């Protein structure tokens, strides 16, 4: 993943005729903060890496996962700077991680680790310094513990040092659906730029979790697309005339509801070969590589997960004329609403959901329009265009 991020940056830098110093300045990470968190139950390696604060405070999630490692955190921190710059919000890039099997940890242990993280890193966090958020296996409950600990350590009660908080604790309306909604807007703007009618367009979604679900529901309601297949880690569900997401609420059991009306149940990997116009990748990093990309029937792929296509898959898809709507824009809805949460906290305001969605929509739509225009003007793909735009912004003084 770090190689992939560096590859994308280096390619965009070459297109922009950056000097070696300019390219190195984008690749370089400002701070690598590391610590060991000790609780009654164990010790855990923890990281808070801060890539760039040139455009605003460091911003990025904290993941709790047994496979968290330094290279992954470096890559994710770097990509956060690229993402924030690509969609033009005044935030930088950072990422945190704790090496912990969170799924098998007790609530008491999770709370102790969350508080331990803040005790170790609170000097590096703050509304104008670094604003962490949830990520894999962390959520509003864990962030609320961190906020409480941060208030104890620093005395700052603005709540603007973390985003992804619960609504009662200064969180923002619209956060749950934000990444899926942003992906829907990115697809809509891409379709407009390319004269594609979205009504009846066939769409498949790999990963019907939080992001995939809201994307599917909103894209059906607002773009008239037809979700002909979805998958999760246990199966692919196919319905030729489209699943109806209209009355559904998101839950971990949503796939079971869809299964009861599916025409066919296949294995998870079969999602790639289902006949479709658009494939949305909303599950995992590196889900598609140079080999399994050959199964993809779609002419457009949306990267809603972070880095679901590795470099060889990207090159192969481009080689056969498949368009890719890149992660750094397609899944930025979440970080945009995080930025709006921070803005609300700093101003002591709480906006209604329509206001939040409206602001996010404007930021997301402009970002996608700018990337599509840049790709068109320079004859590059959308990912390169997004990286070029981001690098130019990160390179400005």
Please list, in sequence order, all residues whose beta carbon lies within 8 angstroms of the beta carbon of residue 261, skipping any fewer than 6 positions away: 239, 243
Q: Do 40 and 112 form a contact (C-beta atoms < 8 A)?
A: yes
End-to-end CA distance of the chain: 28
E runs forming strands in 313-373: 323-325
Residues 158-187 that bind ligand NAD (CB under 6 A): 179
Residue 34 and residue 28 in contact, taking contact as beta carbons nearer than 8 Å: no
Residues 51/92, Cβ–Cβ less than 8 Å: yes
Minimum distance of ligand NAD from residue 209's CB (angstroms): 2
3-state secondary structure 259-317: HCCCCEEECHHHHHHCCCCEEEECCCCCCECCCHHHHCCCCEEEECCCCCECHHHHHHH
132 binds ligand NAD (CB under 6 A): no
Q: Do 124 and 130 form a contact (C-beta atoms < 8 A)?
A: yes
Q: Is residue 57 close enough to count as binding ligand NAD by CB under 6 A?
A: no
282, 288, 389, 390: which one binds ligand NAD (CB under 6 A) = 282
Residue 284 contacts ligand NAD per CB under 6 A: yes
What the block records as the tokens of 294 is 């050959």
Which residues are catalytically annotated? Answer: 95
Write down the least CB distance from residue 18 to ligand NAD, Å.
27
| CB nearer to ligand NAD: pick between 52 and 206 | 206
CB-CB neighbours of 252 under 10 Å: 9
Nearest to ligand NAD of 161, 163 (CB atom): 163
> Where do we find the tokens 């400002």?
30
Which residue is listed with tokens 């999630």?
Answer: 61
Nearer to ligand NAD, 68 or 380 (CB): 68
Does 220 participate in binding ligand NAD (rule CB under 6 A)?
no
Q: Is 305 in the site for ligand NAD (CB under 6 A)?
A: yes
Minimum distance, C-beta of residue 277 to ligand NAD, in the bound complex (Å): 19
When binding is defined by CB under 6 A, the residue of 23, 52, 78, 231 that contacts ligand NAD is 231
Nearer to ligand NAD, 80 or 112 (CB): 80
Task: Choose between 211 and 367: whose C-beta lies nearer to ligand NAD.
Answer: 211
Q: Among 172, 306, 323, 345, which residue sits at the site for ligand NAD (rule: CB under 6 A)? A: 306
Tell the smallest beta-carbon distance from residue 203 to ligand NAD (Å): 15
The footprint of ligand NAD (CB under 6 A) covers 136, 179, 206-212, 231-233, 268, 282-284, 304-306, 331, 334
């Amino acid at each position: 993943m770090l190689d992939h991020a560096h590859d994308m940056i280096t390619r965009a830098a070459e297109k922009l005729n950056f000097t070696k110093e300019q390219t190195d300045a984008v690749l370089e990470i400002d701070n690598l903060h590391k610590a060991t968190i000790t609780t009654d139950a164990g010790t855990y390696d923890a990281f808070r890496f801060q890539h760039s604060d040139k455009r605003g405070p460091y911003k990025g999630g904290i993941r709790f996962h047994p496979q968290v490692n330094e290279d992954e955190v470096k890559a994710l921190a770097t990509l956060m700077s690229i993402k924030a710059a690509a969609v033009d919000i005044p935030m930088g890039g950072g990422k945190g991680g704790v090496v912990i099997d969170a799924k098998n940890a007790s609530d008491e242990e999770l709370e102790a680790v969350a508080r331990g993280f803040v005790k170790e890193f609170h000097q590096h966090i703050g509304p104008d310094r670094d604003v962490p958020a949830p990520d894999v296996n962390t959520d509003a409950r864990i962030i609320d513990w961190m906020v409480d600990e941060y208030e104890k350590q620093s005395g700052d009660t603005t709540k603007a040092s973390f985003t992804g908080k619960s609504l009662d604790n200064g969180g923002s309306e619209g956060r749950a659906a934000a990444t899926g909604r942003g992906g829907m807007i990115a697809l809509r703007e891409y379709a407009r730029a390319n004269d594609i009618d979205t009504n009846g367009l066939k769409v498949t979604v790999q990963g019907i979790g939080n992001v995939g679900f809201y994307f599917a529901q909103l894209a059906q309601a607002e773009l008239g697309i037809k979700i002909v297949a979805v998958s999760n880690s246990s199966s692919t569900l196919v319905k030729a005339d489209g699943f109806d997401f209209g009355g559904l609420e998101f839950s971990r059991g949503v796939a079971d509801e869809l299964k009861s009306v599916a025409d066919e149940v296949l294995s998870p990997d079969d999602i790639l070969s289902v006949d479709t116009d658009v494939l949305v990748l909303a599950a995992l990093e590196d889900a598609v590589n140079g080999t399994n990309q050959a199964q993809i029937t779609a002419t457009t792929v949306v990267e809603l997960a972070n880095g679901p296509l590795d470099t060889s898959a990207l090159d192969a898809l481009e080689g056969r004329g498949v368009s890719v709507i890149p992660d750094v824009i397609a899944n930025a809805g979440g970080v945009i609403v995080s930025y709006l949460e921070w803005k609300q906290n700093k101003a002591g305001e709480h906006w209604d959901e329509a206001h939040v969605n409206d602001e996010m929509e404007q930021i997301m739509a402009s970002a996608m329009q700018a990337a599509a225009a840049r790709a068109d003007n320079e004859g590059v793909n959308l990912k390169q265009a997004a990286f070029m735009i981001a690098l130019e912004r990160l390179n400005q003084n």
